[in-house]
Amino acid sequence: MAEVIAYVGLGSNLENPVDQVSKGLEALERLPRTRCLARSSLYTSPPMGPPGQPDYVNAVACLATGLSALELLEALMAVERTHGRLRDGTRWGPRTLDLDILLYGDARIDSPQLRVPHPGIPERPFVLYPLAEIAPGDLDLPGLGSLTGLKAGCPRGGLNRLEGGA
């Protein structure tokens, strides 16, 4: 299989989130048949889900991968488990490490296991701003529009870039 450019979002708000995201980025470097081409700075953002959670640390990585989308998903879920991620059914709850396939080439996937492009991208500054930091300026998100247009329509809110990054 030829390599595909995929973008992966990373987030954590438990157990030293900066360390969790940094180690998550390192783990992406070790995925089979995959190379990390770029990584964004780290950002802090307020939580989307239930109140009372700590802020999140987020980043985006660009990968060149020979894995299929589902193989990549399985590999990312294995990394999450290694970092103590428990999937208890709580939507948008606190987590040690969350890894999401944001884009997988120009694919549009809508299956019970995976939706690509990730459906939350347009309203998530913690995805759009780090993605814009490392993606080509003219990147088109299949079915969603241009990255530039999406970012223009999504205010930063409480998103802050951390100095020093990953």
- pLDDT tens, residue order, the chain (166 aa): 799 999 999 999 999 999 999 999 999 999 999 999 999 999 999 998 778 899 999 999 999 999 999 999 999 999 999 987 666 556 666 889 999 999 999 999 999 999 999 999 999 999 999 999 999 988 999 999 999 999 999 999 999 999 755 4
Task: For 143, list phi and psi in degrees, rounded to 5.
Answer: 80, -5
Q: Could you say which of 39, 85, 91, 115 is catalytic?
A: 85
Instruction: Answer whether 141's CB lies under 8 Å from 150's CB.
Output: yes
pLDDT at 164: 58
Active-site residue flag, 108: no
pLDDT at 98: 93
Residue 110 lies in a domain: yes
What is the residue type of 35?
R
In total, how many domains does the chain have? Answer: 1
Q: Could you say which of 33, 91, 100, 124 is catalytic?
A: 100
Q: Could you say which of 33, 81, 87, 98 is catalytic?
A: 98
Instruction: Indicate if the alpha-carbon torsion angle 106, 107, 113, 117 is positive or negative.
Output: positive
Containing structural domain, residue 22: 4-161
Residue 106 lies in a domain: yes
Active-site residue flag, 98: yes
Instruction: Answer whether 13's CB lies under 8 Å from 98's CB.
Output: no
Q: Which residue has the tokens 């783990």?
A: 27
Q: Could you say which of 19, 30, 39, 95 is catalytic?
A: 95
Residue 139 lies in a domain: yes
Residue 166 lies in a domain: no
pLDDT at 87: 63
d(CA 130, CA 107): 21
Residue 65 lies in a domain: yes
Residue 51 lies in a domain: yes
**CATH number of domain containing 31:** 3.30.70.560
Tens of pLDDT, residues 123-164? 999 999 999 999 998 899 999 999 999 999 999 999 999 975
pLDDT at 35: 97
